[in-house]
Chains A and B, each alone.
Chain A
């Protein structure tokens, strides 16, 4: 396989070369021809040459990556970065032989690097930055990034300069300032290399974030130092006055804080912009990317740290943007970011290998060795000093092993190389030596350290990223610990980081969210915990499924009545590969890496509808709310179709009509999209049709029968008490079956557009549906948090039976649809309201996402139920709204 790939590359390269020569020949002939004639076809490579080369590079990079991953043995042993560099070397060798290397587009130049290749990587890193570990370790990170980098620069610079007085360099003279320039560029840990290496070894979050955070934030220091020493070298050593040093010191603050500020400003503006993009959702990802890039370019323009700017821009945006934009845009943004950064990283490493093969080298063994040694030694010393210093205030101390990994993970990379390339040879006469030494160091760190760090981590038994399955007890207790510690800190008045975090959260909630989000989430409940439960619930669903496989041998057999809670979770047996599917998505990865997206491919299973149903069962629905922001039209249209199809497919074939215990919004929507709701009666019928097909085969043992909805059900239910009771009531095993005349009629209307579906799936869907109903109801009969403390004090036990079943449908049709608008029930409203279902997949994807995604508000609907105090009011609103709508209909 691998060899195949290689031959493909070779062919590609040869093709390129051939193009080149052919093109030259062509132009030559063209010039010779005296009387110009019309050309039927023209070969004009020059016209596209640069872009063509770039595109070819991207293609080559992608193919290389694809190729490497075809061979597991290769990628297990070697980090991808190494392989890419080797490939680059090979290609570089080819280009060098063919003298194509002189062409600008084929070698790494620092403009390309800094303007195009670097920003996406850094943006991705910032966007997926695990915020909490980052800020938890911010002190350590800053100490390492600033002081340690400074320390390294000075030590390395002095060492290199000091050795120039010995015969070690073979007589080549190195001035002091050039040495410092070189030290400045070589001492900074490279985020790209660290990212590439650390995501593969999966160390624990703390370690990862410390090293990676350092590599990101030390950019400000290294940029300043580099620029400072560079200009010093230009000014000349003898002309320097102390003022220059002070100015340099000042410029550090300007560069770093300026970068952060620009990043935050652009991030905030981006968030603010997305507040108004509801009608143009297709542009949302672009807006995010463009703002981030603009932040980078702006800060480069005013020569502050672009890396800091784009990092913080990404972090700020991540916090708020995803609350605003649609789930599709959110997924797109993430995907595009991953894609861009991954290809840029590939290209960077390839270019590095490529650019190595050139004439711009001057190998000076002494200098290279000293540089290498100095880099290693001072890295270790610096980490030892500053990590111990950081331990003075760190709660979780860095152990010796942590320090070792930290110093070992101090990889140098392309940034250093690119900086070395832009050195001015007139001012710094030893540029070639510097470039060579840089390449040597980079190669040494990337190859030797990069390859060995994985085994080393295993060997030293470094605490790995916890890949444990989220056991409920562990999650629960974890969360409990957080609560307890926050409280206790408050009680003891310690004002520790926990309460500081709480305060930040409050500030964030009270001000930023209010200004930047389309709708203000009332975050009083623990979203994260809920999500954990979602995840857990999924897992237990898998488990139950796995264990119950034997119990349900054939789909058509009557469903075994499991315990109520078990029934909630029991998936249908069609999901043979469901657990694998979930398992593929489940591993938690806080560290941004590609595995998530790789594994996401599995989600392209064919039967959306079934999965939606299943998810509906198992995911927690949030508290309904009266208002929700209007979704974009595109989405509405989109989902309209999708849902239509889905529902037709799911329900058309059913004959036996049951009224489900509760109607969830999907079913409701099915009714709407069935366009059968021409009147109140119809409405009921359609609802019944769409939602109650459930279990017609597995009927006999089924418990989910509800009394038929009477017409009276559409009288207004004005008593919140009643409603609450219904919501809380367990109607499952108590409801009598419903006669099915009406539903069938309305059903037939929808039938025309239906697609026939294989009989097997019928049953499954039914089962599924039953399950769903239970789940949906469970999720939807939500009482607000601490509802008992509300004045009405309606604390009803869940076992209270249905008092007024006739009201149920009404109640559910409104209060339980989180997306329901309080306005009249127009079809537009409904399609819009329902659009969420189209995104169930997104939800599914995000649910099993790494921890850091957990903070993502794909559960923005969850927010609804946060505002408990206004629940009653909202319900009343929706109620009146629905009454209104009913009468209109």
Chain B
């Protein structure tokens, strides 16, 4: 993974990326320029602070958690270079039947969501992890007891094997009724 993305995007790199991710050249170029904009220190990778500078991310209750996922799971050493960045975003390309790559399957999208909960990577969402996310999402408006209740119920809903944690399969199952594929897709400008 070329961590030195500060050099201009090479033609063959571009081709590779396009092939792997299914982005069009223009989209990749646009994303590259976006990446450069975010990379204010011009060192070829983004760190947490770079991402936190985006106001919408900053005020988003899940913003920090999202950045955690991004830099830890998709990047390495708490930074994310362009290639990783684009692989990350490739996950959220629309999953049209014709242009599905390994990145933008429904599963990978759900995996991303799952990772939002599962920060210790044991492929299970346990109660504490759920509680953490819940607290982020509801803020202080709900008392711990009630958050706990909600967490308990959520786990109860999802947990089939009775180990009081949610596996990825269980997670996917409950989301089967949600159009996650659509919801987790966005439009990339070209």
Contact = CB atoms under 8 A, between A and B. Distances in A.
A478 interface: yes
A485 B92 contact: yes
Q: Interface SS of chain A: helix, strand, loop or mixed?
A: helix
Interface string B157-190: 1100000001000010011011110111111110
Contacts of A497: 187
Contacts of A526: 61, 137-139
Given A530-B141, A565-B152, A478 B178 contact: yes
Contacts of A623: 140-141
Interface string B22-51: 000000001100100110000000000001
Interface in A781-826: 781-787, 798
Contacts of B139: 525-526, 784-786, 865
A779 B140 contact: no
A120 B78 CA distance: 59
B12 interface: no
Given A526-B139, A564-B145, A568-B149, A483 B186 contact: no
B66 A568 contact: no
B153 A481 contact: no
B146 interface: yes
Contact of A473 (B94, B137, B158, B182): B158
A492 B89 contact: yes
A491 B94 CA distance: 17
Contacts of A502: 56
Contacts of B123: none
B136 to A, nearest CB: 9
Given A480-B116, A480-B137, A492-B34, A472 B62 contact: no
Given A471-B174, A473-B174, A495-B189, A779 B143 contact: yes
A395 B138 contact: no
A493 B34 contact: yes
A779 B145 CA distance: 9
Contacts of A568: 145-146, 149
B17 interface: no
B141 A525 contact: yes
A486 B56 contact: yes
B9 interface: no
Interface stretch (A75-83, A247-255, A533-541, A693-701): A533-541
Interface string A473-490: 110111111111111111
Determine which residue in A471, A487, A495, A540 has the highest number of CB atoms from chain B within 10 A of its CB, and name it.
A487
B175 to A, nearest CB: 6
A524 B138 CA distance: 11
Contacts of B94: 395
B13 interface: no
Contacts of B188: 492, 494
A484 B113 CA distance: 8
B141 A565 contact: no
B183 A536 contact: no
A537 B61 contact: no
Contacts of A483: 60-63, 66, 137
A844 B47 CA distance: 46
Interface in B37-85: 37-38, 51, 54, 56-57, 59-63, 66, 70
A435 interface: no
Contacts of A482: 183
A787 B134 CA distance: 15
Given A484-B112, A530-B142, A473 B187 contact: no
Contacts of A495: 189
A779 B56 contact: no
B141 A785 contact: yes
Given A779-B142, A865-B140, A477 B62 contact: no
Interface string B105-116: 000000011001
B18 interface: no
Interface in A700-723: none
A493 B53 CA distance: 13
A471 B175 CA distance: 10
A786 B137 CA distance: 11
Contacts of A536: 150, 153
Contacts of B30: 493
Given A395-B186, A490-B56, A492-B188, 20 more contacts: A466-B177, A473-B154, A473-B174, A474-B178, A476-B133, A481-B113, A481-B183, A483-B60, A484-B116, A486-B60, A487-B57, A487-B62, A492-B31, A493-B31, A495-B189, A498-B186, A525-B139, A530-B141, A730-B145, A785-B139
- By Cβ-Cβ distance, the 6 closest A-B pairs, closest first, are A785-B139, A778-B143, A493-B34, A565-B149, A783-B140, A798-B144
20 contacts: A396-B182, A474-B178, A478-B183, A479-B137, A483-B60, A484-B116, A488-B89, A488-B92, A491-B89, A492-B89, A493-B37, A494-B188, A526-B137, A536-B150, A540-B149, A540-B150, A565-B146, A784-B140, A785-B141, A865-B139
Interface of B: 30-31, 34, 37-38, 51, 54, 56-57, 59-63, 66, 70, 89, 92, 94, 112-113, 116, 133-134, 137-146, 148-150, 152-154, 157-158, 166, 171, 174-175, 177-180, 182-189
